[in-house]
Amino acid sequence: VRKNPAEQEFHQAVKEVLESLRPIVKVNEAKYRKEALLERLVEPDRQIKFRVPWVDDKGQVQVNTGYRVQFNNAVGPYKGGLRLHPSVNIGIIKFLGFEQIFKNSLTGLPIGGAKGGSDFDPKGKSDREVLAFCKSFMTELYKYIGADVDVPAGDIGTGAREIGYMFGQFKKIKGTYEGVLTGKGLSYGGSLVRKEATGYGLLYLVEEMLKCNGFDITGKLVAISGSGNVAIYAAQKAFQLGAKVITVSDSNGWVYDPEGIDVAALQIIKEENRGRLTEYKKYRPNSEYHEGRGVWSVKCDIALPCATQNELLLEDAKALVSNHCIAVAEGANMPTTLDATEYLQTHGVLFAPGKAANAGGVATSALEMSQNSERLSWSFEEVDEKLKHIMLNIFHNMSDAAERYGAKGNYVMGANIAGFEKVADAMIAQGIW
Ligand code: NDP
């Protein structure tokens, strides 16, 4: 806090992780202290901040700020998404980059932790304006990334269009055709299942968590927040597994559809038209649209926050508990506040933290990197099978780690410890850096 006073979200993420590492730190205290391991872990390898000037459709020059925080490459090249949203600042990018270290380690794949982005808002911009921004952003970022160095991906506001524009500019400047970004289109090195991966992976993990705790996902009512990439494919997989999704939201309001959310309609509204959820009623006249927030007040068995950080608050946790919700799994990064997480855990709700539950996206990105290196493309079934296998492993690794350290069922602690163990070993083995 003294070093980085304004980085509120970063402090929140570090606090959550360090608190839950207490049992493993206790066992290894002398070694970690001597090596200043935790002090080194919370200080990024480097953080890059740069100007992003671009010209809007009126001929006016606009200036945004770009960031890339390369946090830790102990177990592999830096990997993590690029967020384009007006709320982006260094504290948010650092929280995301820090979380990414443990998430990426948990996947079992060789990828380090990083995050980046800009306070640019793609919403309401023309394709030409988005292209102008992406070119300018990559004109600086290209100096710091590469297939064996740092491989950025999508995140909020960065979808296939933005990744395509950035890839084009990287190629133009560098003259190399390399797997420098993931989330690419299928015609130029993208992986099947990448689009679906975070949402699908979330449901694979939830299904396993329920099964191991004596529940069956079939017939369960699911509340989802968000209506972006993660939310859409979480909803699709939930239906495929026999559950029923009844809510989605965006930053203006939320939809309750008692008959079950129409995923095809959602795809048209959000993916094809880049529209708003106010349009959903056109497709489903019996649904309800409400302004503001309110998804967590709906009675559900499973809650999947899939929008953004700090969107599930203590009062929401209380509403979920009183409605007998059995499981919460984070599709988004840090959507649940610390007090809400604690309330859910102490009231018997199964709680899967984002760094485990939403790791399917980055895991599939790592599979995209493997395919690019091999210059091969795997089939949908092959990638999906690998994704499922990775998510089940993640669940069992975090569950086992929690049990090993005397906190059975505390998946927050389990995920942090399991992710941390490998990174700590690798950092110690590589000397002081
Ligand atoms: P998208 O941009 O596709 O969708 C984000 C959704 O969340 C939209 O519905 C958006 O509504 C809503 N949202 C964003 N900001 C806010 C806000 N401040 N308040 C309320 N709602 C908001 O992003 P993704 O689906 O890709 O990402 C969602 C979350 O999942 C993020 O936390 C991201 O870091 C995390 N994540 C994503 C992965 C991926 O593969 N995409 C991988 C792992 C984690 P609106 O349209 O109104 O802005």
The answer to the question of whether 100 is labelled as a binding residue is yes
Q: Are residues 108 and 205 in the same domain?
A: no
Instruction: Measure 306 CA to ligand 1 centroid, in angstroms.
Output: 6
Shared domain check, 219 and 116: no
- Please tell me whether residues 213 and 303 are part of one structural domain: yes
Residue 144: CB atoms within 10 Å: 17
Per-residue confidence in pLDDT tens, the chain, 433 aa = 778 888 999 999 999 999 999 999 999 999 999 999 999 999 999 999 999 999 999 999 999 999 999 999 999 999 999 999 999 999 999 999 999 999 999 999 999 999 999 999 999 999 999 999 999 999 999 999 999 999 999 999 999 999 999 999 999 999 999 999 999 999 999 999 999 999 999 999 999 999 999 999 999 999 999 999 999 999 999 999 999 999 999 999 999 999 999 999 999 999 999 999 999 999 999 999 999 999 999 999 999 999 999 999 999 999 999 999 999 999 999 999 999 999 999 999 999 999 999 999 999 999 999 999 999 999 999 999 999 999 999 999 999 999 999 999 999 999 999 999 999 999 999 999 9
Contacts of 381 (CB under 8 A, 6+ apart): none
Which residues is 102 bridged to in the sheet?
none
**348 and 221, same domain (yes or no):** yes
- Alpha-carbon 250 to chain mean position: 17
Ligand 1: residue whose CA is nearest its atom 13: 307
Do 172 and 211 belong to one domain?
Answer: no
To the nearest 10 degrees (0 to 180), the angle between helices 314-322 and 338-346 is 20
Q: Based on the domain organization, do 225 and 93 belong to the same domain?
A: no
**Do 117 and 174 share a structural domain?**
yes
Boundary residue ending a domain (151, 178, 205): 178
Contact yes or no for 360/204 (Cβ under 8 A): yes
- Structural domain containing residue 70: 44-178
Assess whether 170 and 93 both reside in one domain: yes
With the most atoms of ligand 1 within 8 angstroms of its CB, the residue from 92, 230, 263, 271 to mutate is: 230
CB of residue 387 inside a 6 A radius of ligand 1: no
Distance from the alpha carbon of residue 156 to the mean position of ligand 1, in angstroms: 5
Q: Does residue 307 line the site of ligand 1, with CB under 6 A?
A: yes
Residue 171 maps to which CATH number? Answer: 3.40.50.10860
Report yes or no on 238 lying in a domain.
yes
Determine if ligand 1 sits within 6 Å of the CB of residue 157.
Answer: yes
Residue 361, ligand 1, Cβ within 6 A: yes
Task: Answer whether 358 contacts ligand 1 (Cβ < 6 A).
Answer: yes
Q: Is residue 374 situated within a structural domain?
A: no
Report which protein residue has its CA nearest ligand 1's atom 22.
251
Task: Clarify whether residues 200 and 159 are in a common domain.
Answer: no
Has 49 been labeled as part of a binding site?
A: no
Distance CA 11, CA 66 (A): 21
Ligand 1, atom 33: closest residue by C-alpha = 332
| pLDDT (0 to 100) of residue 401 | 97
Annotated ligand binding at 346? The verdict is no
Cα 433 to middle of ligand 1, angstroms: 34
Index of the ligand 1 atom closest to the CA of residue 293: 20
Pairwise CA distance, residues 106 & 63, whole Å: 37
Q: pTM here?
A: 0.95
In a domain, 91, yes or no: yes
Q: Which of 332, 352, 372 is the last residue of a domain?
A: 352
Among candidate residues 147, 178, 209, the one where a domain is terminated: 178
| CATH for 232 | 3.40.50.720
Contact 141, 47 (CB under 8 A): no
Check whether residue 65 and residue 162 sit in a common domain.
yes
Query: What CA–CA distance (Å, rounded) separates 5 from 307?
Result: 26
Tally of domains within the chain: 2
Residue type (1 letter), 130:
V
Residue 166 lies in a domain: yes
Cβ contact 328:412 at 8 Å: no
Decide if 330 contacts 248 (C-beta within 8 A): no
3 state SS for the chain? CCCCCCCHHHHHHHHHHHHHCHHHHHHCHHHHHHHCHHHHHCCCCEEEEEEEEEECCCCCEEEEEEEEEEEECCCCCEEEEEEECCCCCHHHHHHHHHHHHHHHHHCCCCCEEEEEEECCCCCCCCHHHHHHHHHHHHHHHHHHCECCCEEEECECCECHHHHHHHHHHHHHHHCCCCCCCCCCCHHHCCCCCHHHHHHHHHHHHHHHHHHHCCCCCCCCEEEEECCCHHHHHHHHHHHHCCCEEEEEECCCEEEECCCCCCHHHHHHHHHHCCCCHHHHHHHCCCCEEEECCCHHHCCCCEEEECCCCCCECHHHHHHHHHCCCCEEECCCCCCECHHHHHHHHHCCCEEECHHHHCCHHHHHHHHHHHHHHHCCCCCHHHHHHHHHHHHHHHHHHHHHHHHHCCCCCCHHHHHHHHHHHHHHHHHHHCCCC
Res 2: pLDDT: 78
CA of 305 to the centre of ligand 1 (A): 10
Q: Residue 287, annotated ligand binder?
A: no
Residue nearest to atom 36 of ligand 1 (CA): 332
Check pocket membership of 154 for ligand 1, CB cut-off 6 A: yes
Active-site residue numbers? 115
Report the atom number in ligand 1 closest to the C-alpha of 226.
Answer: 9
Statement to judge: residues 296 and 339 lie in one domain: yes
Q: Mark whether 202 and 292 lie in a shared domain.
A: yes
207 belongs to a structural domain: yes
Instruction: Please indicate whether residue 226, judged by its CB atom, sits closer than 6 Å to ligand 1.
Output: yes
Strand 288-291 to strand 302-305: parallel, antiparallel, or no bridges (unpaired)? unpaired
**Is residue 144 domain-resident?**
yes
In a domain, 433, yes or no: no
240 is in an annotated binding site: no
pLDDT at residue number 220: 98
Atom of ligand 1 nearest to the CA of 354: 44
ipTM surpassing 0.95, yes or no? yes
